[in-house]
Amino acid sequence: MKAAFAVPSSASSAELLESLRAQVATAEARVRQQPFGLDPVLAGLLGEPGLKPGAAYCLGASGALLNVLLAAASAQGHWCGAVGIPTLAAEAAAAAGVNLERLVLVPEPGEQWLAATAALAEVIPVLALRPPGRVREADAARLAARLRDRGGVLLVAGDWPRAEARFTIGSRSWQGLGLGHGHLRSQEVQVSVTSKRYPSGRTARVLLPAADGRLQAIEASSPLRAVG
């Protein structure tokens, strides 16, 4: 049987160590193909157990949705990053469950947004990105290759060519606020996910954020039944 790792015989010990490290790193990347955690309601809409490594997902501008997606991956111990999102609400993210010690922000990368994202994708598996303008197909393809290689996932707050799925927030209504009294308690929204699997999209009504800052499913009210 062939050895799993080819070891050059004439290399110095330092080179040998280096090549072994490189091979181990590739092997590590190969085995890490587990999906990233996702809230069960959203997973149901997506029709997958979680976010697929190597894929890009489009979200709208909703900060609460981004926080919920980051929180699920962060809860598994993954590092998270956000590029070009200066408005990221860290306190709300922490309330949603994001571990701030494993969160890195590049608030305003300017022209270097693509280079910074590509570099971060090396080590940070969950990256949120708000591209400053239209993204060229070629750039997206290069970043996609890097993501597939490292098994990372990209959450784009904006448009992205060839996204795996698209999360959109439809009709929404805030509860708790009247005219001159009360305060915002929770928001009822309609989340729809269109994916390659469900091109027409699937929709659910959820509280986002609920009073505790997280996502909460709304139990479908049972239709009235005639009794007696």
Partner 1 sequence: MAERFGVLWFPGWPVTAWALAEAEDDSAPVAVLVANRVTSCSTAALAEGVLPGQRRREAQSRCPQLRVIAADEARDARCFEPVVAAVERLAPGVQVIRPGLCALRLRGLASYLGSELEAAETLLEAVATEVGIISGRFGIADGLFAAIQAARAGDPVLRVLPGGSPDFLAPLPVARLGRPELAELLPRLGVRTLGEFAALPVPAVRERFGSDGLRLHTLAGGTDPQHLQPRTPPPELTATLSFEPPLEVIEQVAFSAKATTEEFIGRLTAAGLALTEVRIELTSEVGEVIARHWLAATVFDAAAVIDRIRWQLQAASGGQLSSPLARLRLEPLTTDEAAHHVPGLFGLGPDERVHHVLSRVQSLVGPDQVVTVRLSGGRWLAERQQLVAWGDRPVATARREEPWPGMVPDPLPGSVFIEPKPVRLLTSSGRPVRVDDRGRVTDPPVALGVGQRTLPVIGWAGPWPVSERAWDPQRARRADRFQVVDGEGTGWLLFTDADGCWAEARYD
Q: Residue 56: what are its φ and ψ, rounded to 5°?
A: -120, 140
CB of 108 to partner 1, least distance (A): 6
Judge contact between 134 and 144, C-beta under 8 A.
no
Pick the closer one to partner 1 by CB: 91 or 137: 91
CB of 101 to partner 1, least distance (A): 7
Residues of the shown chain interacting with partner 1 in the complex, contacts defined by CB under 8 A: 17, 20-21, 24-25, 28, 61-67, 79, 86-92, 94-95, 100-101, 103-110, 112, 115-116, 119-120, 122-124, 171-174, 177-187, 209-213
CB of 155 to partner 1, least distance (A): 14
Using left for φ > 0, alpha for ψ between -120 and 50, and beta otherwise, residue 158 falls in left
CB of 122 to partner 1, least distance (A): 5
Judge contact between 184 and 177, C-beta under 8 A.
yes
Closest listed residue to residue 113, CA positions, set 88, 81, 145: 81
CB-based burial, 162-186: b 16+ in 10 Å, e otherwise:
ebbbbbbbeeeeeeeeeeeeeeeeb
CB of 23 to partner 1, least distance (A): 10
Pick the closer one to partner 1 by CB: 48 or 213: 213
CB-based burial, 44-77: b 16+ in 10 Å, e otherwise:
ebbebebbbbbbbbbbeebbbbbbbbbbbbbeee
Pick the closer one to partner 1 by CB: 123 or 145: 123
Pick the closer one to partner 1 by CB: 119 or 217: 119
Pick the closer one to partner 1 by CB: 43 or 210: 210
CB of 135 to partner 1, least distance (A): 18
Pick the closer one to partner 1 by CB: 134 or 183: 183
First to last CA, the chain: 75
